């Protein structure tokens, strides 16, 4: 049976960590629960058996460290539970138990369990679902592009595998008393792929280009509005001052690689970026259009010992069947996605590891509010009432999804139970009649063949909407054409998803604030704009929760998006691929991956 590194129970623990609440993962009973004889911070070239050998004198004593750390995590938020003995994070705190506890643990295992140290070298052959739509982190918006940049660029802050905010290129930060200025202290000795050291000047250049309106960056809000001032204090200190207080800047800087630090040498003669030069564990070595990209190990990477791989070769294979056949046939080692209809078959295949976790994302219908009749709230609500979301989840993702009526799913700490749109055909017809469409109207649905679930959902929507008098046609172009149609506002209703959403800000701000580049629907509500800006001013969870609860109701009632379901994230790879973690934010971190040559 294929292994699942993160089951649904563990996912609940991961997502709960966003609330800064530590939940124990219980292993064997430990008599001295929470007692640490020593505390150790994980370094880049560490693994559990190595730490056990160093502190406890026996590589097989590592289970005692797991138990002690998990026990400590249950009472101390500075510890994170160990979910997989093969996977510990750089910077993670380990509780080293007393010698007698370690000895007891060693007796229980009888020397039968081992943790193999990572083997350096080799090339991971990865198959993505989509072609990338450019590699300039400031101008791209596609998931496929950011998945590549995730291993090339780095941010000042980041989120670990438990989605805790952690220092990355910045070692520390502090906010001024007036709330306007954040000051970040940078790591020293961090090298770009071209051999130059990163300094505060590079942070300034990267952020100023990101927030420049001429750049047209959809993720500029990661840093702030155009009026934001970035000041170099010294080589390793940078200050960021906003026109209004921002309480969550450390969080937003880690959202995605749009706020990654880039060397200015990345600009070509035309003033654009085709191959960004970053500080990440891999550098871009070869690009063949959008059909192949080779990432090579960054030899001067600041985390000693990482990455383990020599290279990652990425090839897009859009067709699910072909992509899965390539994995089963040994042509690739790792695939970004599998067809949901093949989930059970692949999970039962011993030659494949299938790893799953609920996504922090949503699938939805985006309505064009700049076209009639979608500029009428009653029409949008009628569409929302026409949906049978259970049927859509079954058809679109073969039941591996949870129906939702708002942007957040039940696994998110930002989930709100407000759900006014249980299917009601008569209510939908009534609203259409009030809006002046008693006989309904015609519209076009815009899914994309790139994501088969959007086409399947469109086919079911076609039937459901027909029952309330809305006649639909389906236009399902290739991904590149779809992006042009959506970005240009040339649609009635598009079907897609938003991915990699960690903080509540990501669910509401970029897509719905009236002046944001990613507001493709034309939604404009001054009350919403004011509240969503206010939510950024404080870091207090309870205060933000109350604001977002109000924002959620406004958004669901206004219905510029009609939400459908929250999917399960799936990855599949060969058993000899080790160290990969499937994350709810969908980040593919290859720097901890290694290939077991003996398996």
Per-residue model confidence as pLDDT tens digits over 493-505: 999 998 767 888 9
pLDDT in tens, 208-259: 999 999 999 989 999 999 999 999 999 999 999 999 999 999 999 999 999 9
Contact 532, 507 (CB under 8 A): no
* Residue 144 or 263, more confident: 263
Q: Output the CATH code of domain 21-109.
A: 3.10.350
Q: The sheet that has 229-234: what strands, in order across it?
A: 170-175, 181-186, 237-241, 229-234
Strand partners, 312: 124, 295
Contact 306, 47 (CB under 8 A): no
Number of other CB atoms surrounding residue 305 within 10 Å: 13
Has residue 413 got a pLDDT over 60? yes
Q: In which residue ranges of the chain is CATH 3.10.105.10 found?
A: 362-568
The arithmetic mean of pLDDT across residues 480-484, rounded, is: 92
Lowest mean pLDDT among 390-394, 412-416, 477-481: 412-416
The arithmetic mean of pLDDT across residues 200-211, rounded, is: 98
Has residue 420 got a pLDDT over 70? yes
Percent of the chain residues past pLDDT 90, beyond the cut: 65
Contact 150, 216 (CB under 8 A): no
* Residue 14 or 587, more confident: 587
Q: In which residue ranges of the chain is CATH 3.90.76.10 found?
A: 153-266
Work out whether the CA dihedral 271, 272, 277, 283 comes out positive or negative: negative
pLDDT in tens, 158-184: 988 878 888 999 999 999 999 999 999
pLDDT in tens, 513-564: 999 988 999 999 999 999 999 999 888 888 999 999 999 999 999 999 999 9
Number of other CB atoms surrounding residue 404 within 10 Å: 21
Length of the chain: 599
pLDDT, the chain, mean: 88
Percent of the chain residues past pLDDT 70, beyond the cut: 90
DSSP three-state, residue 458: helix
For the chain, the 3-state helix, strand and coil shares in percent, each to the nearest 5, are 30, 20, 50
Residues 129, 209: Cα–Cα separation, whole Å: 30
**Overall CATH class of domain 153-266:** alpha beta
Has residue 5 got a pLDDT over 50? no
Q: In which residue ranges of the chain is CATH 3.10.350 found?
A: 21-109
How does residue 92 score in pLDDT terms, banded at 50, 70 and 90? Answer: confident
CATH superfamily membership of 362-568: Dipeptide-binding Protein; Domain 3 (3.10.105.10)
DSSP three-state, residue 444: strand
Phi, psi of 244 (to 5 degrees): -130, 155
Predicted local distance difference test score (pLDDT) of residue 297: 98
H or E element, residue 477: none
The arithmetic mean of pLDDT across residues 566-577, rounded, is: 93
* Residue 92 or 23, more confident: 92
Long-range own/partner contacts, residues 438-442 (CB < 8 A, 24 or more apart): 438/469, 439/469, 440/468, 440/469, 440/470, 440/471, 441/373, 441/469, 441/470, 441/471, 442/470, 442/471, 442/472, 442/473
* Residue 47 or 417, more confident: 417
Predicted local distance difference test score (pLDDT) of residue 500: 67
What sections of 231-376 are H helices per DSSP? 249-252, 320-328, 343-347
Residues 568, 394: Cα–Cα separation, whole Å: 12
């Amino acid at each position: 049976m294929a292994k699942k590194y993160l089951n649904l129970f563990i996912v609940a623990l991961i997502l709960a960590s966003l609330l800064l609440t530590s939940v124990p993962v219980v292993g064997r009973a430990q008599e001295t629960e929470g007692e640490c004889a020593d505390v150790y911070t994980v370094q880049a070239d560490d693994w559990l058996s190595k730490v056990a050998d160093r502190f406890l004198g026996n590589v097989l004593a590592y289970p005692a460290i797991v138990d002690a750390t998990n026990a400590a995590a249950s009472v101390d938020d500075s510890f994170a539970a160990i979910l997989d003995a093969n996977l510990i994070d750089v910077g993670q705190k380990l509780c080293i138990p007393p010698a007698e506890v370690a000895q007891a643990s060693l007796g229980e295992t009888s020397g039968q369990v081992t943790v193999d140290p990572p083997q350096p070298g080799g090339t991971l052959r990865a198959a993505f679902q989509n072609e990338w739509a450019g590699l300039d982190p400031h101008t791209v918006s596609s998931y496929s592009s950011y998945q590549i940049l995730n291993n090339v660029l780095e941010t000042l802050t980041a989120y670990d595998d438990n989605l805790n905010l952690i220092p990355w290129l910045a070692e520390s930060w502090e906010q001024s008393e007036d709330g306007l200025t954040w000051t970040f202290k940078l790591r020293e000795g961090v090298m770009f792929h071209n051999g130059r050291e990163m300094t505060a000047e590079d942070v300034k250049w990267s952020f100023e280009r990101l927030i420049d309106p001429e750049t047209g960056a959809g993720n500029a809000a990661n840093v702030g509005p155009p009026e934001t001032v970035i000041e170099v204090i010294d080589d390793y200190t940078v200050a960021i001052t906003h026109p209004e207080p921002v309480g969550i800047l450390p969080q937003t800087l880690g959202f995605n690689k749009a706020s990654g630090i880039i060397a200015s040498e990345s600009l070509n003669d035309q003033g654009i970026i085709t191959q960004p030069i970053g500080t990440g564990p891999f550098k871009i070595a070869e690009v063949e259009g959008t059909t192949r990209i080779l990432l090579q190990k960054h030899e001067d990477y600041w985390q000693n010992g990482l990455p383990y791989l020599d290279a990652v070769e990425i090839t897009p294979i859009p067709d699910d069947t072909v992509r899965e056949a390539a994995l089963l046939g040994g042509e690739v080692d790792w695939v970004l996605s599998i067809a949901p209809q093949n989930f059970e078959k692949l999970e039962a295949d011993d030659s494949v590891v299938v790893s799953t976790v609920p996504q922090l994302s949503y699938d939805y219908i985006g309505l064009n509010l700049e076209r009639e009749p979608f500029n009428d709230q009653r029409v949008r609500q009628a569409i929302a009432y026409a949906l049978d979301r259970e049927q859509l989840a079954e058809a679109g993702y073969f039941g591996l999804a949870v129906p939702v009526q708002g942007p957040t799913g039940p696994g998110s700490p930002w989930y709100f139970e407000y759900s006014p749109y249980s299917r009601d055909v008569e209510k939908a017809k009534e609203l259409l009649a009030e809006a002046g469409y008693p006989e309904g109207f015609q519209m076009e649905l815009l899914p994309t063949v790139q994501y088969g679930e959007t086409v399947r959902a469109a086919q079911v929507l076609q039937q459901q909407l027909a029952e309330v008098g809305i006649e639909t046609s389906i236009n399902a172009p290739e991904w590149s054409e779809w992006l042009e149609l959506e970005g240009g506002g040339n649609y009635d209703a598009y079907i897609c998803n938003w991915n990699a959403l960690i903080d509540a800000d990501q669910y509401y701000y970029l897509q719905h604030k009236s002046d944001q580049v990613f507001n493709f629907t034309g939604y404009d509500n001054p009350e919403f704009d004011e509240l969503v800006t206010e939510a950024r001013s404080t870091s207090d969870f309870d205060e933000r929760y109350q604001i977002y609860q109000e924002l959620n109701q406004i958004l669901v009632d206004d219905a510029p998006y009609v939400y459908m379901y929250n999917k399960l994230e799936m990855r599949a790879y060969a058993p000899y691929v080790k160290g990969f973690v499937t994350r709810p934010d969908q980040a593919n971190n290859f720097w901890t991956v290694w290939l077991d040559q003996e398996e």
